[in-house]
Structures are given as C-alpha cells and as structure tokens.
Amino acid sequence: MSLLKLPGLGGMVDVISKERSLPRQAVETALCEALLKGYEKYRKTYKQSHEKFEENHFDNFDVELDVEEEGFRVLATKTIVAEVTDPDHEIGLTEVREVAPEAQAGGSVVVDVTPEQGDFGRMAAIQTKQVLSQKLRDQQRRLIKEEFQEVAETVLQGRVLRFENNDVIVAVSSGFGQPEVEAVLPYSEQLSSERPYRMGATLKVYLMAVHDEQSRRPQLVVSRAHAGLVVYLFANEVPELEDEIVRIVAVARETKPPGRSVGPRTKIAVDTLERDVDPVGACIGARGSRIQSVVAELRGEKIDVIRWSPDPATYIANSLSPARIQEVRIMNAADRKAHVLVAPDQLSLAIGKEGQNVRLAVRLTGWKIDIKDASTYDREAEDRLFQEVQSAE
C-alpha cells in the first residue's frame, strides 16, 4: 500500500498532545479528520470536468495514520459491481477477482486511493492545517464535556485567571491530578460582597452548566451565587448531612439584594427523623464552628438555619427567625396565604431591612406571608377584607 510521508509525525503528535492536554488518540483522530478534509480539497481542486461532488460524496473515504512509518494513507470503501458507473464508490467485479477470486457482486472492499506525494498539493496542505486547528478544538470540547458532565451541579475548586469585561475566568479541575480547564463566572453569578476578585485567588464554585455549542467562550459556567453551593458547603462541614441523619429540605438565597444597605443572606430549612438529634444544632456546630466555616467561605454572608415542619404555621413561624412570632393564621391553605402576627417591637425584625427577611421566608416556605402588628390586628375586619379580596380575584 502506498504512503504519503509526513516527516516528524510522531513528534508532532506528542507535542500537540502535551500543549493541548489531549490524549494521543484524540490528536490522531483530529489529524485523520483534517487530512481527509485536505484530500477532499485536493480532489475538488484537481477534479475532472465531468466530476460532481455532493455534500456526502466522501463519506466512504477514510484516512489511516502510520505513526511509525511517519505517513498516512487514504482508503475508500467501495461496493463490488458488474459494471462501474461511479469510480469513487464502486469497483468492478473482474478487477476484484484478480486478487480475491471468491468475491461476489454486492460485497464491499477497502481500496487504497492515496495520491502521489507531489499531487497532494500546497492548497490541500493549507486546508489540512486550517481544519486541524478546528478539529483539535472539537476534540478538546468533546473531552471537556465528557469529563465535566459527570461532575455537573457539584462544587469545584477554582482559581482566578483573568477578567473579561465583568466576567471572571477561573481555572477548575474535575479531580485530583486532572488538568485545569477554563470556566466562566458570569457577573450575574458573582457575590457582590467579594468583588473585586483578585488574580490567583482560590474559591469554591458551583458547576452550573457544561455547554456543547461552538464558541470561543469557555464551555463551563460556574457560580458563586447558586443555592447548591451553600448545600455543598454545609454537607462538607456537617457529618450528619453526609450520613443522612439530617437533611436539607429547602434553601432560599438572595445574593443581590435590591438595596445597598443589606448584604447577601441565605435561609436553609433542615429536618431529621432521629428523635435525639437537633438538626439546627448539628448544622451550627459547637459554638457556631460549623456554620462559621460556611460563612467564611461565602465572605461573611448571613445564614439562618431553621427547623422545617410539616405544619405550615410552625414552618412559617420558624422561617421568620430571628423574629419572635405570636401567631400564624392560615387564611387560605389552597392558595398558601397566611397572616403572621408579631409584637410591635418584632415588626421590623420580622420584615427585615428592606423586606429581606420576609422575602426569603416566602421563598423558603412557598407561602404568601403578610406581617401584621398583633396590637392593632382586628380579626373580624381582616377576615372580612380577606374575603372581599378573594371574591374580587
């Protein structure tokens, strides 16, 4: 079989493999695809006047690399026919029987169609080089997708590399000993409390998405604002969560409050089926040691850990912590609407600065909560007004 020489092929594969952090097999696959495109260019450049090439004309062609001999071959799989009408896809039965007497029409054979060294041409070589860069990027993207899809929606260790507009580009790894890959931390997923980010700074990030589409942007999208990051950090600090003695039922996080006078804040609801275990205490730890580790990683973000309850009134009351609640009135269970009665001195605490406390309680519980001053609350008037509003809706 003929061979088109590529001097230094083995060394070139090694260099590309090292520079691109790609396995040799992936580099060889990309090179074969690029050489096949180069062959197509050669054929289309030097085609005879009667030749016409459809889009899938070369689908039966392949390239075989020979790294040891430093070259490649072009092979075509052709159908055996009695009379040839399409030389690129067919081969005559008589010709095949010269080397394989048992051959029958309708079968197929692989034929060496490698061009001469001089025929391959400068334009085909340029095409091969251009396509190789793209094919190598495709291989990188495919491997990154395969590698990181397994760790999507988990937390990775990141290192700040550079800044692109308002976004931060960080280096992440899928595991110990694995090469680092670039990921983008969009402005919308950053914590305002830790901006501006420093070059080289390390931080834990939540892997939100692994993109597949062609783009110059990193395939991986990470977040510092996702609620999943808080869940991971607690699971890392609280053995009872890992052992499933305690479970996190719900998380509500606000990393971008509407006003500047309040900072990021999170509420998490926890529960346990073990009678002798305090799920809130387990998450807070002795003298607050466990929760303080989470707060430190989130750069001082305020975190409320509350006890979940199957009883809506109890759950709503707990969700408004640290305010002390006098009573929770379930106004409409179907529409999940409730009035919460608090003493005058607890009113501002229950609502929170700029409404943050009650806003997070609403997200955590899924109930529409209306905070009321218990000292001026008129039950009959409120019931009547509520019924009128319900009727109007």
Given a contact cutoff of 8 angstroms between Cβ atoms, the answer to whether 124 and 38 are in contact is yes
User: How many CB atoms lie under 10 A from the CB of residue 77?
Assistant: 14
pLDDT in tens, 170-218: 999 887 667 788 999 999 999 988 888 999 999 999 999 998 766 667 7
pLDDT in tens, 261-277: 888 999 999 999 999 99
Domain boundaries, the chain: 4-146, 151-223, 234-308, 313-393
Residue 294 backbone class (left: φ over 0; alpha: ψ -120 to 50; beta: rest): alpha
Question: Hey, what are 169's tokens?
Answer: 């580009």
What mean pLDDT do residues 281-303 have?
A: 94
Considering the entire predicted model, what is its pTM?
0.71
Question: Hey, what are 166's tokens?
Answer: 């308002």
Residue 335 backbone class (left: φ over 0; alpha: ψ -120 to 50; beta: rest): alpha
Question: Hey, what are 333's tokens?
Answer: 């269970």
The topology (CATH level 3) of 151-223 is OB fold (Dihydrolipoamide Acetyltransferase, E2P) (2.40.50)
Q: What DSSP element (H or E) covers 144?
A: helix 122-149
Distance of CA 105 to the CA centre of its chain: 51
List CB contacts of 265: < 8 A, sequence separation 6 or more: 253, 254, 257, 301, 302, 303, 304, 356, 360
Out of 8-17, 103-112, 286-295, 368-377, least confident range: 8-17
**How big is the CA angle at 208 (ends 206 and 214), to the nearest 5 degrees?**
130
Given a cut of 50, whether residue 79 has pLDDT beyond it is yes
What mean pLDDT do residues 106-124 have?
A: 81
Gap between the Cα atoms of 147 and 116, Å rounded: 40
Given a cut of 80, whether residue 243 has pLDDT beyond it is yes
The topology (CATH level 3) of 4-146 is N Utilization Substance Protein A; Chain:P; domain 4 (3.30.1480)
More reliable by pLDDT, 389 or 144? 144
Give the CA distances from residue 197 to residues 167, 169, 203, 359, in Å, rounded to whole numbers and listed in that order.
Answer: 10, 10, 10, 28
Banded pLDDT at 132 (limits 50, 70, 90): confident
pLDDT for 176 equals 61
DSSP bridge partners of 371 = 340
Closest C-alpha among 318, 332, 345 to residue 386: 332
Banded pLDDT at 49 (limits 50, 70, 90): very low
Gap between the Cα atoms of 232 and 235, Å rounded: 5
CATH number of the domain at 313-393, out of 3.30.300.20, 3.90.1150.10, 2.30.30.280, 3.30.70.920?
Answer: 3.30.300.20
What mean pLDDT do residues 9-19 have?
A: 87
Same fold, 151-223 and 234-308: no
Out of 94-98, 202-206, 367-371, least confident range: 94-98
> Given CA atoms 122, 128, 134, 140 in this order, what sign does their dihedral have?
negative
DSSP bridge partners of 202 = 159
The mean pLDDT value of the chain amounts to 89
Gap between the Cα atoms of 284 and 246, Å rounded: 12
DSSP for 259-324? SSSS--EEEEEEEES-TT--HHHHHH-GGGHHHHHHHHHTTT-EEEEEE--SSHHHHHHHHTTTS-
DSSP bridge partners of 246 = 272
pLDDT for 380 equals 87
Q: Coil, strand, or helix at residue 202?
A: strand
Give the CA distances from residue 82 to residues 94, 95, 104, 113, in Å, rounded to whole numbers and listed in that order.
Answer: 8, 10, 9, 20
Given a cut of 70, whether residue 18 has pLDDT beyond it is yes
The packing angle between helices 227-237 and 289-297, to 10°, is 140
Banded pLDDT at 121 (limits 50, 70, 90): low
pLDDT in tens, 148-168: 888 889 999 999 999 998 999
CATH architecture group of domain 234-308: 2-Layer Sandwich (3.30)
What is the Rg, in whole angstroms, of the alpha carbon atoms belonging to the chain? Answer: 33
Banded pLDDT at 386 (limits 50, 70, 90): confident
Give the CA distances from residue 200 to residues 28, 161, 294, 325, in Å, rounded to whole numbers and listed in that order.
Answer: 34, 6, 21, 46
